[in-house]
């Protein structure tokens, strides 16, 4: 008799965003005339930059010519893309990252989940609360946790609360943990980490032999020049951190799919016999076995992000969404709501008005304003009483959504 991975039965019913989509679809079916504005999932709305499109069209033509046709690419990604990333995203900021340490992939969501393949099941794992739900759910699937309690917290995980009191940056734990997920600029709160904060984490990880999973998917949104874009800007991070980056939110590749993970060659963790094993080798083995790379066409599109036109176009795109975030923050603040984030991130973290629960506010907003956001409790127990609003939409829709919300919830 075939059996299942019982760990899946520990998960809450549905992944957060499909669950939101289910509720929105049900509402839309019952109210076909409602003009619903979606500021829930952080999915981009504006067209791909011209530089990327032009490069992809050229790549399609190359695929149609025997002389330039490409079959399987290198599993780690083409060197011409990895070299540009190493030089412009890392070395230009003083980070010692070599092109050979970069693995091109089809998404940070997949990579932050798949990375668990190369780690043991006996690690003590820390996540912030609230947190991007993928980090938690993939640990549940991998069997790294026990069951969830009534609040949705899984036994065996160490939850580090992030609150307005600690500027949504977790305190360094007093206990020893082996794997730590950090996301800055933060999804869902929009908070950023200073160099000092990241240094404290790097010092902790080095002292305890821990590995930091640093998700920098939103680094392009950092406007404050003092805020680090990469964990490798911190001395010693090469000895304790893996970094995840994405082309989804800077170049609008959510539907095109391209991302990257950096695994420094000197980074090690312990085997059962106590020996030190290079994580780069394991990740390379994992990727070359289970992954066949991102298409040539898409990698050419990603490469164009690093051209002069590409850089100017993605800056414009990011600034567009940041202006949306500014509008959201201003309108909601003026209406008397408690607002966080949105300055160095495309997410605005809002205290729900009238002490409504996150899901009650979600339902009210959907039913009375026809606006969709994301309930804070969907990101963890400490997100209860908060609500995330994404800045990814057209200007017109953002302005209209803010008008509807503030007309209804002005306090
Ligand atoms: C979100 O809304 O949190 C994002 O869409 C996350 C993601 O990129 O998967």
Which of the residue ranges 19-28, 159-168, 190-199 has the most confident prediction, judged by mean pLDDT? 190-199
Give the whole-angstrom CA distance, residue 340 versus residue 168.
9
CA–CA distance from 338 to each of 162, 164, 190, 352, 404 (Å)?
A: 16, 10, 14, 8, 17
| Extended strands (E) in 81-219 | 102-105, 125-129, 157-161, 179-183, 211-215
Mean pLDDT of 253-259: 98
| Extended strands (E) in 155-229 | 157-161, 179-183, 211-215
Mean pLDDT of 315-344: 97
Does 15 have pLDDT greater than 90? no
Q: How confident is the model at residue 150 (pLDDT cuts 50, 70, 90)?
A: confident
How many domains is the chain built from? 2
Q: Are residues 175 and 274 in the same domain?
A: yes
CA of 97 to the centre of ligand 1 (A): 26
Give the whole-angstrom CA distance, residue 130 versus residue 11.
17
Residues with C-beta less than 6 Å from any ligand 1 atom: 41-43, 109, 187, 248
CA of 41 to the centre of ligand 1 (A): 6
Q: Are residues 56 and 39 in the same domain?
A: no
Query: Cis (ω within 30 of 0) for the bond into 378?
Result: no
Give the whole-angstrom CA distance, residue 411 versus residue 389.
18
Q: Are residues 302 and 291 in the same domain?
A: yes
pLDDT at 392: 98
Give the whole-angstrom CA distance, residue 205 versus residue 211.
6
Mean pLDDT of 311-324: 98
CA of 133 to the centre of ligand 1 (A): 9
Give the whole-angstrom CA distance, residue 77 versus residue 100.
10
Give the whole-angstrom CA distance, residue 97 versus residue 238.
8
Range of the domain at 325: 6-47+309-409
Does 410 have pLDDT greater than 80? no
Q: CB–CB of 394/320 below 8 Å?
A: no
The answer to whether position 90 is within a domain reads yes
Q: Are residues 294 and 314 in the same domain?
A: no
pLDDT at 363: 94
Does 41 have pLDDT greater than 70? yes
Q: Are residues 153 and 58 in the same domain?
A: yes
Burial 347-361 (b: 16+ CB within 10 A, else e): bbbbbbbeebebbeb
If you write DSSP's letter for every residue of 240-265 in order, what string do you get? TEEEEEESTTTS--TTT--EEEE--T
Closest CA to 125 of 154, 161, 168, 151: 154
Closest CA to 217 of 256, 239, 255, 187: 187
Q: How confident is the model at residue 404 (pLDDT cuts 50, 70, 90)?
A: very high
Which atom of ligand 1 is found nearest the CA of 187?
3
Give the whole-angstrom CA distance, residue 233 versus residue 211.
16
Q: What is the CATH number of the domain that holds 26?
A: 3.90.1150.10
SS3 label, residue 330: helix
Which atom of ligand 1 is found nearest the CA of 132?
3
Q: Are residues 149 and 297 in the same domain?
A: yes
Does 53 have pLDDT greater than 80? yes
pLDDT at 12: 78
The last residue of a domain, from among 256, 286, 307: 307
Please provide the average confidence, as pLDDT, over all residues in the chain.
Answer: 96
Give the whole-angstrom CA distance, residue 411 versus residue 130.
26
Q: Are residues 247 and 103 in the same domain?
A: yes
The answer to whether position 66 is within a domain reads yes
Instruction: Burial-class residue 28 by CB neighbours within 10 Å (0-12, 13-18, 19+).
Output: middle
Backbone angles phi and psi of 260, in degrees to 5: -155, 155
All residues at 6 or more sequence positions from 350 whose CB lies less than 8 Å from its CB, including other chains: 332, 337, 338, 339, 340, 373, 386, 387, 388, 389
Which atom of ligand 1 is found nearest the CA of 390?
2
Does 325 have pLDDT greater than 80? yes
Which atom of ligand 1 is found nearest the CA of 246?
8
Distinct helix (H) and strand (E) counts, the chain = 11, 15
Which atom of ligand 1 is found nearest the CA of 217?
8
CA of 375 to the centre of ligand 1 (A): 13
Ligand 1 pocket test: which of 21, 187, 254 has the largest number of ligand atoms within 8 Å of its C-beta? Answer: 187
The answer to whether position 1 is within a domain reads no
Q: How confident is the model at residue 104 (pLDDT cuts 50, 70, 90)?
A: very high
Query: Cis (ω within 30 of 0) for the bond into 185?
Result: yes
Ligand 1 pocket test: which of 43, 133, 256, 345 has the largest number of ligand atoms within 8 Å of its C-beta? Answer: 43
CA of 332 to the centre of ligand 1 (A): 22
The last residue of a domain, from among 289, 307, 325: 307
Backbone angles phi and psi of 81, in degrees to 5: -80, -45
Closest C-alpha residue for ligand 1 atom 4: 42
pLDDT at 409: 84
Q: What is the CATH number of the domain that holds 232?
A: 3.40.640.10
The radius of gyration of the chain's CA atoms, rounded to the nearest angstrom, is 21
Give CA 103 to chain center in angstroms. 17
CA of 272 to the centre of ligand 1 (A): 35
Mean pLDDT of 305-309: 98
pLDDT at 328: 98
Cβ neighbours of 98 (radius 10 Å): 14
pLDDT at 18: 83
Closest C-alpha residue for ligand 1 atom 5: 42
Q: How confident is the model at residue 211 (pLDDT cuts 50, 70, 90)?
A: very high
DSSP letter, residue 148: B
Which of 58-67, 97-106, 161-170, 176-185 is the least confident region? Answer: 161-170
Residue 288 bridge partners (DSSP): none
Closest CA to 105 of 281, 222, 245: 245
Q: Are residues 197 and 332 in the same domain?
A: no
Closest C-alpha residue for ligand 1 atom 9: 109
pLDDT at 94: 97
The last residue of a domain, from among 241, 275, 307: 307
Which atom of ligand 1 is found nearest the CA of 374?
2
Percent of the chain with pLDDT over 90: 95
Does 105 have pLDDT greater than 70? yes
pLDDT at 13: 66
CA of 324 to the centre of ligand 1 (A): 17
CA of 52 to the centre of ligand 1 (A): 22
CA of 245 to the centre of ligand 1 (A): 13
Closest CA to 45 of 402, 400, 403, 397: 397
Which of 226-230, 244-248, 322-326, 353-357 is the least confident region? Answer: 353-357
């Amino acid at each position: 008799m075939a059996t299942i991975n019982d760990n899946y039965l520990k998960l809450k019913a549905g992944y957060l965003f499909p669950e939101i989509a289910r509720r929105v679809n049900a509402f839309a079916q019952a109210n076909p005339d409602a003009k619903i504005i979606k500021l829930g999932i952080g999915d981009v709305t504006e067209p791909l930059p011209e530089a990327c499109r032009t490069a992809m069209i050229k790549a399609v033509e190359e695929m149609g010519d025997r002389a330039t046709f490409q079959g399987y690419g290198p599993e780690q990604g083409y060197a011409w893309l990895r070299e540009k990333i190493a030089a412009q995203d890392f070395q230009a900021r003083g980070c010692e990252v070599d092109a050979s340490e970069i693995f091109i992939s089809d998404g940070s969501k997949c990579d932050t989940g798949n990375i668990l393949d190369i780690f043991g099941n006996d690690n003590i794992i820390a996540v912030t609360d609230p947190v991007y739900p993928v980090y938690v759910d993939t640990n549940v699937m991998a069997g790294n946790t026990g069951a969830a309690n009534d609040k949705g917290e899984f036994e065996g995980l160490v939850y580090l609360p992030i609150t307005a009191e600690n500027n949504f940056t977790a305190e360094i734990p007093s206990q020893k943990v082996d794997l730590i997920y950090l996301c800055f600029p933060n999804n869902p709160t929009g908070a950023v980490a200073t160099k000092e904060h990241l240094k404290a984490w790097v010092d902790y990880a080095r002292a305890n032999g821990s590995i930091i999973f640093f998700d920098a998917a939103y680094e392009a949104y950092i406007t404050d020049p003092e805020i680090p874009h990469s964990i490798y800007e911190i001395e010693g991070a090469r000895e304790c951190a893996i970094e995840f980056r994405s082309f989804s939110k800077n170049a609008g590749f959510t539907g095109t799919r391209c991302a990257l993970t950096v695994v420094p060659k000197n980074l090690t963790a312990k085997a059962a016999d106590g020996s030190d094993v290079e994580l780069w080798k394991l990740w390379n083995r994992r990727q070359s076995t289970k992954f066949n790379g991102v298409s040539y066409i898409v990698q050419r599109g990603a490469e164009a992000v690093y051209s002069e036109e590409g850089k100017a176009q993605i800056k414009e795109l990011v600034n567009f969404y940041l202006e949306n975030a500014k509008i959201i923050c201003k309108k909601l603040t003026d209406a008397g709501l408690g607002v966080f984030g949105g300055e160095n991130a495309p997410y605005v973290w809002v205290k729900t008005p009238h002490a409504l629960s996150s899901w009650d506010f979600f339902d009210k907003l959907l039913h009375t304003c026809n606006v969709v956001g994301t309930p804070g409790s969907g990101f963890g127990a400490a997100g209860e009483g908060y609500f995330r609003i994404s800045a990814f939409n057209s200007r017109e829709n953002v302005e209209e959504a803010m008008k509807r919300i503030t007309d209804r919830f002005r306090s």
